[in-house]
Amino acid sequence: MTFSSFLSRRTVALAAPLLMAAYGVLRFLDGLDGGHGPGVFWNLGHGALLLAVLGLGVLGVHLASSASRRSPTPVAGVALVATLVGVALFSWVTLTDLSERLDDAWDMPDVLMAVGPLSFALGLVTLLALHVGRGVPAWSPAAFLLANVAIGVDLDLLLPAALVMLAAVSPLARRPLARGGIANVGGVS
């Protein structure tokens, strides 16, 4: 597998939700001792979360690129910026959970802690919505939003939410997609 195929729309549409599911399983295992905290399952779980969020960011780039080529409007660009802001904030929080030094370096303001997940979810939901009828079923954006809301309500819902997320984005992994569907981005399918 080449690096470019690793970052393909098809690969990240499956890998990112599966990594999120792995985080849910590892978080469950981490909590079997009555608490969540530093240790093997904690570190592996946060590593999986970081890769999942970065993968969803890559998926956002694929979706925005495709939408912009089909219909150049600022909506896809704004949605991509929102997604990537959310990815950056999620990544920072995840990294600070893994490193006390990073956590001590900058205490993220509460407003950014709230904006990150909202920006991430709404950006990707918008990008998915731009592809409804072009390889993405009408229920996919709502399912993706539901998965993100469930995670925001209770982290113990990570595993089922990740499976809903997988259902929401897995149509992007199909090949071929409907005519006019998700286009090949930068030579990567």
Task: Render pLDDT for 79-122 as a digit per residue (tens, 0 to 9).
Answer: 999 999 999 999 988 898 888 887 778 777 888 888 999 999 99
The per-residue pLDDT for 98 is 87
- Residues 6 or more apart whose Cβ sits within 8 Å of residue 41: 26, 27, 29, 30
* 13 is a domain residue: yes
Q: Is residue 119 part of a domain?
A: yes
Burial of 5 (0-12, 13-18, 19+ CB in 10 A): exposed
Which residues, in sequence order, are bridge partners of residue 185? 188
Bridge partners (DSSP) of residue 14 are none
Q: Is residue 186 part of a domain?
A: no
DSSP, res 130? T
| Number of domains comprising the chain | 1
Interatomic CA distance for residues 174 and 33, integer angstroms:
40
Q: Is residue 180 part of a domain?
A: no
pLDDT of residue 183: 41
Cα–Cα nearest to 126, from 55, 63, 62: 63
Tokens of 64: 């925005």
pLDDT digits (tens, 9 = 90+) for 13-69: 999 999 999 999 999 999 998 888 889 999 999 999 999 999 999 999 999 998 877
pLDDT of the residue at 63: 94
For residue 156, the enclosing domain spans: 3-173
64 lies in a domain? Answer: yes
